[in-house]
Chain A
Amino acid sequence: MVNLFKRMRKLKTILDVRVGTGAAIFPTLASANKEFPAVTRLHLTYAQKIYGGHQGARHFWRRCLPRLKYHNPGVKMTVRQTEEQEGPAALTIYFAERVGSTANAIAGKNQITDKHAPAPEASERTAVVDVKNLTWEEIWSRVQASTGAEEVPATAEDQAEQKKLQAISEKAVKDRERIQAMRQAKRDQERMLAEARGEVEKLKTM
Chain B
Amino acid sequence: MSSYGAALPSAARGILSSCRLPLREKSMSPAFSVFQQIRGVKNNPQAKGKGKKKEAKTERKGPREFQQKHLKDMEQFALCDAMRYIRAMEVGREPTVSKYEVHIRMRTRKDGPVIRNMIRFPHAVQTESRICVICPPGSKQAKDAIAAGAILVGEDEVFEAVKAGKIEFDRCLAHPDSLPALNKAALGRILGPRGLMPSVKTGTVVEDVASRVEDLRGGTVYRERDAVIRLPIGQMGFSPEQLRDNLRTTIESIKKDAAGLNDRINKEIYEVVLSSTHGSGFSLNGEFRTDNSPETSALTGV
Residue of A nearest to B73 (CB): A4
Is the CB of A168 closer than 8 A to any CB of chain B? no
Chain A: interface secondary structure? helix
Among A8, A14, A74, A197, the residue within 8 A (CB) of B85 is: A14
Encode contact with A along B178-189: 1 for CB under 8 Å, 0 otherwise.
000000000000
Is the CB of B67 closer than 8 A to any CB of chain A? yes
Distance A76 CA – B302 CA, assembled complex (angstroms): 6
**Which residues from A are CB-within-8-Å of B84?**
70, 73
Distance A13 CA – B301 CA, assembled complex (angstroms): 24
Shortest CB distance B37–A (Å): 12
**Which residues from A are CB-within-8-Å of B35?**
197, 200
Distance A14 CA – B302 CA, assembled complex (angstroms): 20
Shortest CB distance A81–B (Å): 9
A residues 137-181 near B (Cβ < 8 Å) are none
B residues 75-105 near A (Cβ < 8 Å) are 75, 84-85, 87-89, 91-93, 105
Shortest CB distance B32–A (Å): 10
Is the CB of B280 closer than 8 A to any CB of chain A? yes
Cβ of B294 and Cβ of A44 under 8 Å apart? no
Among B67, B71, B92, B298, the residue within 8 A (CB) of A74 is: B298
Cβ of B294 and Cβ of A73 under 8 Å apart? yes
Chain B: interface secondary structure? loop
Distance A14 CA – B275 CA, assembled complex (angstroms): 13
Distance A54 CA – B127 CA, assembled complex (angstroms): 33
Encode contact with B along A106-135: 1 for CB under 8 Å, 0 otherwise.
000000000000000000000000000000
B residues 189-216 near A (Cβ < 8 Å) are none
Interface centre among B67, B68, B89, B227 (most CB of A within 10 A): B89
Is the CB of A202 closer than 8 A to any CB of chain B? no
Interface centre among A4, A8, A61, A204 (most CB of B within 10 A): A4
**Which residues from B are CB-within-8-Å of A67?**
88
Is the CB of B33 closer than 8 A to any CB of chain A? yes
Distance A44 CA – B93 CA, assembled complex (angstroms): 12
Among B10, B33, B73, B294, the residue within 8 A (CB) of A8 is: B73
B residues 19-40 near A (Cβ < 8 Å) are 33, 35
Among B66, B87, B280, B295, the residue within 8 A (CB) of A11 is: B280
Cβ of A65 and Cβ of B91 under 8 Å apart? yes
Residue of B nearest to A4 (CB): B69
Is the CB of B7 closer than 8 A to any CB of chain A? no
Cβ of B89 and Cβ of A66 under 8 Å apart? yes
Apart from A14-B85, A17-B85: 4 A-B pairs, beta carbons within 8 A: A8-B74, A66-B91, A79-B93, A204-B10
Q: Which 4 A-B pairs have the closest CB atoms?
A: A79-B92, A74-B298, A70-B88, A69-B91
